[in-house]
Amino acid sequence: MDPWSWICELLESPEFAESDSHVVFQLGGDLTRSIQLRAERVFGSDPESFSLTFKVIAEGFNRLKSSTIWVSDTCSLSSEKPFLPLVLQLLRELISHSPITRESACTKSELLEIKASPVSWVMDSHSPESFSSVFNMILLTRLFWLCMFDAPSEVGSFFFQHLLGPQVNTLTCQQAPVLRTFLVSVGVDVELCIVRAASYALSKWMISNEVGLGNLGLKQLCSSTLPHHPLGFSYATEAHGLWILKGYFPILSMNVTNHNSSNDIHNKIIKFPIVEPKEAVLRYALSHQQAEVIIQFGYSVKFHENFIKVNARVDNIRIHVSKLGFHNGGGGVENKIADCYSEENYLPTRVRVWVGPEIGSSHVSGLSLGRSTKNEEREIEVTRVLKGNFGKGKVAPRVKARARMSTRKKIKDWRIEQESEGNAAVFDAVLYDRETGQEVTTAKPSHDGFKNVFTKSGGIVFGRDEYGDEVGWRVGREMEGSVLKWRMGGKIWLTYWPNKLNTLFYETRCVEWCDEVDLPLLPTS
């Protein structure tokens, strides 16, 4: 599906020249039903000049009162950028449908005032073939909200099977570098709206696959994605002395590493799983959550007489688990579920990030870490108890002595350390259960005293003071003037355990991804 290329080549196509009214692009269909994108001429006072209007047409559906389910604003062909208004309209409508958390710092009205200049710049600086991945993702996401919420259920079912299923990789854009440029250009607030709207559509598709309604298996899709690029949005960039790695991953796209539920008990007796109704609704509510991760490394390049020193340190690691799709107001089923399960959410329990040169970089050596292994101090408490029998009696007086020693150890909830894997510096933070000493990712906590470990919304922030001093690499001076590839990666564990619900269900999910940025070795004045 590539409607953007079709739109850009529309005026030069023979089909458009021969048609007096409209031309059609088939978005998806079968023998009797279809969803189409239609371009129609709009004539003004001058019969020689005309504009275009785009419509989404659903044909062959019995319950539709009108086959036209969406109409664009008019695109003036006399403009230098005739299709820019179409892109901006789709973006604004996508933003208006995007899930926004209650703690959002921006209102919908503010976000809808998206500026045209960055979008126009991305369109001008990339070929239509490159920009297709961005436009097609925006259009497919807008079609999801259109077919699922503004059309009869038969249109929504058809959309899931014939459009979203075959084209679901469009919502991830893992092979589209222009997406990185586009998201950076429109700003982080608009970026959040775009990825949350697309992730909500992706989550709904994955839920349908789990219950057997999808036409493309989730395992098949996961196996077809790029290595270290799970379903979701992720990219790396450089800005103002920072390497930034971002990742937005719906919960269902993350791998389960540890779990327990009511059906584990039933599976010991019968051959098929049975999930209690309360747990089924809980899982449905939890499926509308997304991990949003930002990893920032501060870096510097220093030139010495015989070598170049590349230094890096953790500037910020921010992990937020947002809830997708639940809007305030209205009496829909999802709003009622949101009210019942508003206190239930996944929490980050382990963070592992790494940074280093690309694999096989023989000109980079001498990795130096900035923190020693932490040997925690222990407090030893010795208690002596003296017992004895005194006085007259047949039995000779005797004295018994017993010594008892106890050890108390001061431990933090998070254990943070540095490691190395080859030429990569690894920063690891693990949440431990203070009572059992076990990692929370591997076992259900023995208590519920972790609330002070996270932010009020259930996230976590690690600042530059948490991970110790900077790490460094030495590069041969002969590499001066060249551009190296520097790689970053992240691995995040999220754990759910019941907060206010009485249920056996808990689980840990994990996601891993990586990307790379350019590192110019250019001396400054």
Q: Which residues pair with 409 in a beta bridge?
A: 378
3-state secondary structure of 1: coil
Which tokens is 173 given? 């854009």
What pLDDT does residue 413 have?
84
Alpha carbons 483 and 505: distance in angstroms, whole number: 50
Short-list 491, 512, 509, CA closest to 289: 509
Alpha carbons 118 and 493: distance in angstroms, whole number: 35
Q: Which residues pair with 379 in a beta bridge?
A: 408
**Mean pLDDT by groups of 10 residues along the chain of 525 residues:** 90 81 88 91 73 92 87 89 94 87 63 86 91 93 91 90 87 76 91 92 87 49 50 91 94 90 50 63 89 95 92 94 67 65 88 92 85 64 60 58 60 84 92 84 76 82 82 92 94 91 87 93 75
Neighbours of 112 (CB within 10 A): 14
Q: Which residue do the tokens 């992720």 mark?
A: 234
**Distance from CA of residue 226 to its chain's centroid?**
16
* 352 touches 428 (CB < 8 A): yes
* 514 touches 487 (CB < 8 A): yes
**Distance from CA of residue 424 to its chain's centroid?**
24
Q: How far is CA 280 from CA 56, 261, 277, 283, in A?
A: 36, 10, 5, 5
Alpha carbons 261 and 276: distance in angstroms, whole number: 9
Read off φ and ψ for residue 257, nearest 5 degrees: -110, -20
CA dihedral 326, 327, 331, 336 (to 10 degrees): 30
Alpha carbons 390 and 277: distance in angstroms, whole number: 68
pTM of the model: 0.85
Q: How far is CA 431 from CA 79, 141, 342, 352, 445, in A?
A: 57, 36, 23, 12, 10
Q: Which residues pair with 238 in a beta bridge?
A: 243
Read off φ and ψ for residue 504, nearest 5 degrees: -80, -10
Alpha carbons 42 and 51: distance in angstroms, whole number: 5
What pLDDT does residue 272 have?
41
Read off φ and ψ for residue 412, nearest 5 degrees: -95, 160
Read off φ and ψ for residue 444, nearest 5 degrees: -65, 135
Alpha carbons 216 and 230: distance in angstroms, whole number: 16
User: DSSP states of 163-193 as a string?
Assistant: IITTTGGGGT-TT-HHHHHHHHHH-HHHHHH
Read off φ and ψ for residue 59, nearest 5 degrees: -115, 145
Alpha carbons 333 and 312: distance in angstroms, whole number: 48
* 350 touches 460 (CB < 8 A): no
CA dihedral 173, 176, 177, 178 (to 10 degrees): -90
Neighbours of 269 (CB within 10 A): 7
| Sequence spans of domains, the chain | 3-82, 240-373+413-525, 378-409
What pLDDT does residue 215 have?
46
